[in-house]
A and B are shown apart, each in its own frame.
Chain A
Amino acid sequence: MAAKKKKRKEKGTYKQFENLSFDQVIQKVEDALSAENPRDALYILKFATKKFGESAAVRSLFFRAYLLREKQLRAKSLHDEADAVRELANRFLPEFDQMPEAVLIDYMSNASGKKAVEAYAGYLKNGARSPKIEQTLAHLMFKGRDWKAVDILEADHPLRQEAGPVQRAAALMNEAAWEQALDALNPISRTSPYASIRVFCRAMASFFKGDDKTAARALEMIPSDFPLSRTIGNLKRILHECTPEDEKRAAMEAVGFLWDGPVNLQRDIQDLIECIDKKRFKQAVQRVQAVASGFNPSEPLRVTTFITECLWRFSATGRLEDYDFQKMAQSLLPKKIIDPMFIKIRLASSIKPFSSAGLYISELDKEFPDPEERKIAHALTLLHTAIFLSAQDGRMQFRVERPLIEKYRDQLGIRSDTYEGALLDMVRYSIRIDPGNRNAYEFLAALPRNSREDKKKVESGLSVMLKEFPDDPFPCLELASLFYQSNAFRKAENILEEAMKRAPHDARVLDRHVLSLLISSEINIRREKYHLAERDLDRAASFENKKMEPFVLEKKLLFDLKKSANQLEPDDPDMKKQRSLFGKRRTPVTLIMETLAEHPLYGRLKVLSLLLLDIHGKKLPRKTALLKSVDTLLDKELKAGVRTLGSSEIFQLLAPLGKEYEPLFESLYPAPLLIERSKALLNVLNTEDALRLYERILIPSLYKVIVKDLRSRAKKASEKDRRLLDFFRVTVDHLSGKKEDSDLFYEVIDEVEEGPALEALRALSRRLARHATGRLRMALEEFDFEILDEPMGFPGLPFDLDLEDLLPRMEGLMEDMEDAESDDERLFEALEVLSKIGMTETDAFKEELGFVIEEAEDWVDSLEIRGYPNHLIKQMRNMLFTTDPDAKREMKMIGRVLEQTGTQSKLSREAQVLLYGKARKK
Chain B
Amino acid sequence: MLPYYFILNVPEDATDEEIRNSYLRLVKQYTPEKDPVRFQQVTEAYEALQNRRRRILGKIFGGLSIKEPEDGLLTLAASRRPVRRPVNLKTLFDAENED
Is there contact, CB below 8 Å, between A303 and B84? no
Interface SS, B side: helix
B57 / chain A contacts, CB cutoff of 8 Å: 380, 384
Query: In the bound complex, what is the Cα–Cα distance between A77 and B69 (angstroms)?
Result: 47
Check A252 for interface membership: any CB of B closer than 8 A: yes
Contact string, B65-99, partner A, CB cutoff 8 A, digits 1/0?
11111101110111010111111111111011001
Q: How far is the CA of A768 from the CA of B76 in the complex (A)?
A: 39
Q: From known contacts A258-B84, A310-B69, A437-B53, infer whether A170 and B63 are also in contact, taking CB-CB under 8 Å.
A: no
Contact of A176 (CB < 8 Å), options: B70, B77, B86, B93: B86
The 6 closest A-B pairs by CB, nearest first: A309-B63, A313-B69, A265-B77, A259-B82, A173-B89, A310-B63
Return B26 CB to nearest CB of chain A, in Å.
13
Known pairs A295-B76, A307-B76 / 5 extra A-B pairs, C-beta < 8 Å: A227-B93, A231-B95, A258-B84, A260-B85, A305-B62
Known: A227-B96, A380-B56, A380-B57. A312 touches B64 (CB 8 A): yes
Stretch in A65-73, A268-276, A721-729, A831-839 touching the partner: A268-276
A311 within 8 A of B: yes
A314 at the B interface (CB under 8 A): yes
Residues of A with C-beta under 8 A to B66: 309-310, 313
**Contact residue among B12, B69, B76, B88 (Cβ-Cβ distance under 8 Å from A173):** B88
> Which B residues have a C-beta under 8 Å from some C-beta of A?
2, 12, 52-53, 56-57, 59-70, 72-74, 76-78, 80, 82-93, 95-96, 99
Q: A476–B60 Cα gap in the complex (Å)?
A: 33
**Residues 304-353 (chain A) with a chain B CB within 8 angstroms:** 305-314, 317, 344-345, 347-348
Q: In the assembled complex, how far is the CB of residue B13 from the closest CB belonging to chain A, in whole angstroms?
A: 9
Among A262, A266, A311, point to the contact of B74 (Cβ < 8 A).
Answer: A266
In the complex the two chains form, is B76's CB within 8 Å of A255's CB?
A: no
A309-B62 contact, Cβ under 8 Å, with A174-B90, A227-B93, A380-B53: yes
A164-191 CB contacts (< 8 Å) to partner B: 170, 173-176, 178
- Partner of B56 from the list A173, A309, A376 (CB cut-off 8 Å) is A376
- 8 Å CB contact of A376 from B53, B74, B90, B91: B53
Asked whether A255 and B56 contact (CB < 8 A) given A173-B89, A269-B73, A273-B70, the answer is: no
**In the complex, what distance in Å separates the CA atom of A198 from the CA atom of B91?**
18
Chain A residues with CB under 8 Å of B52's CB are 376
CB-based A-B contact count at 8 angstroms: 136
Whether A231 and B53, one on each chain, are in contact in the complex, defined by CB atoms closer than 8 angstroms, is no
Enumerate chain B residues within 8 angstroms of A255, measured Cβ to Cβ: 95
A312 touches B87 (CB 8 A): no
A308 in contact with B63 (CB, 8 Å): yes
Max count, chain A CB within 10 A of own CB: residue among B52, B57, B76, B99: B76
Does the CB pair A208–B84 fall under 8 Å? Answer: yes
Contact partners of B53 in chain A: CB under 8 A: 376, 380, 434, 437
The answer on a CB contact under 8 Å between A257 and B87 is yes
Q: Would you call A306 and B2 a contact (CB within 8 A)?
A: yes
Question: Are B84 and A259 interface neighbours, CB within 8 A?
Answer: yes
Give the distance to chain B from A166, nearest Cβ to Cβ, in Å. Answer: 12
Q: Does A688 contact B (CB under 8 A)?
A: no
Q: Taking CB as reference atom, which chain A residue is nearest B62?
A: A309
13 cross-chain CB contacts under 8 A: A173-B88, A230-B96, A231-B96, A269-B76, A306-B2, A309-B62, A310-B69, A313-B66, A344-B64, A347-B60, A373-B56, A377-B56, A380-B57
A809 interface residue (CB < 8 Å to B) = no
CB atoms of A175 and B76 under 8 A apart = no
Asked, given contacts A210-B84, A261-B83, A295-B80, whether A77 binds B93 with beta carbons under 8 Å apart, the answer is: no
From known contacts A77-B99, A252-B82, infer whether A344 and B87 are also in contact, taking CB-CB under 8 Å: no
Contacting residues, chain A, for B72 (C-beta < 8 A):
310, 313
* Cα distance, A381 to B90, chains bound together (Å): 56
Q: Mark A238-274, 1 if CB is under 8 A from B, else 0.
A: 0000000000000010010111111101101110110
| A803 beta carbon closer than 8 Å to chain B | no
Interface: A747 (CB within 8 A): no
The one of B73, B74, B85, B92 that contacts A231, using a Cβ cutoff of 8 Å? B92
Q: A263 to B83, alpha carbons, bound, how many Å? A: 9
Beta-carbon nearest neighbor of B64 in chain A: A348
Q: How far is the CB of A253 from chain B (nearest CB, A)?
A: 10
State in angstroms the CA–CA spacing of A434 and B53 once bound together: 10
**What's the nearest-Cβ distance from chain B to residue A869, in Å?**
33
Q: Nearest chain-A residue to B83 (Cβ)? A: A260
Interface size class of A (residues with CB under 8 A): 35 or more
Judging by beta carbons under 8 Å apart, are A268 and B76 in contact? no
Alpha-carbon distance A266/B72, docked complex (angstroms)? 11
- A491 interface residue (CB < 8 Å to B): no
Chain A, Cβ-Cβ closest to B78: A266
Bound complex: CA A106 to CA B90 (Å) = 24
B69, A367: Cβ atoms closer than 8 Å:
no
Is there a chain B Cβ closer than 8 Å to A302's Cβ? yes
Q: Please measure, in the bound complex, the distance between the C-alpha atom of A295 and the C-alpha atom of B83, giving whole angstroms.
A: 11
Contacts A269-B73, A303-B2 given; does A313 touch B80 at CB 8 Å: no
* A216 CB, min distance to chain B CBs, angstroms: 14
In chain A, positions 479-497 with a C-beta closer than 8 Å to chain B are: none
Closest Cβ of chain A to B23, distance in Å, is: 19
Centre residue among A173, A176, A311 by max chain B CB count within 10 A: A176
Interface: A143 (CB within 8 A): yes
Give which listed residue, B12, B68, B69, B83, contacts A259 with CB less than 8 A: B83
Query: CA separation between A227 and B94, bound complex, in Å?
Result: 11
Residue A313 contacts which of B63, B85, B95 (CB distance < 8 angstroms)? Answer: B63
State whether B60 touches A344 (Cβ < 8 A): yes
Q: Is A228 interfacial (CB-CB < 8 Å)?
A: yes
Are B86 and A228 neighbours in the complex by a CB distance under 8 Å?
Answer: no
A207 contacts the other chain (CB 8 A): yes
**B68 → chain A closest CB, angstroms:** 8
Distance A312 CA – B57 CA, assembled complex (angstroms): 18
Min CB–CB distance B44 → chain A (angstroms): 17
Residues of B within 8 A of A270 (CB): 74
Closest-CB distance, A586 to chain B (whole angstroms):
61
Q: Give the distance in Å from the alpha carbon of A531 to the alpha carbon of B92 in the complex.
A: 94
- Collect the chain A residues with CB atoms within 8 Å of residue B67's CB: 313
B67 to chain A, nearest CB (A): 7
Residues of A near B87 (CB, < 8 A) are 176, 257-258
Alpha-carbon gap, A348 to B73, bound state (A): 18
Known A-B contacts A227-B96, A302-B2; the reply to A307 vs B84 at CB < 8 A is no
Complexed CA–CA distance, A434 and B69 (Å): 31
Q: In angstroms, how far is the closest chain B Cβ from the Cβ of A497?
A: 32
| Measured CA separation A272–B70 after assembly (Å) | 10
Query: In whole angstroms, what is the CA distance A368 to B96 when docked?
Result: 51
Q: Is the CB of B88 within 8 A of A175?
A: yes
Q: B63 contacts which of A262, A265, A307, A437 (Cβ < 8 Å)?
A: A307
A292 to chain B, nearest CB (A): 10
Bound complex: CA A210 to CA B28 (Å): 14
**Complex alpha-carbon distance, A373 and B54, angstroms:** 11
State which of A208, A227, A263, A311 has its C-beta within 8 Å of the C-beta of B69: A311
A261-B80 contact in complex given A255-B95, A344-B60, A348-B61, C-beta closer than 8 Å: yes
Does A257 lie within 8 Å of B73, measured CB to CB? no
Is the beta-carbon distance between A178 and B86 smaller than 8 angstroms?
A: yes
CB proximity to B under 8 Å, residues A81-122: none
Q: Tell me which residues across on chain A come within 8 A of B73, comparing CB atoms.
A: 269, 272-273, 307, 310
Cβ of A573 to closest chain B Cβ, rounded Å = 73
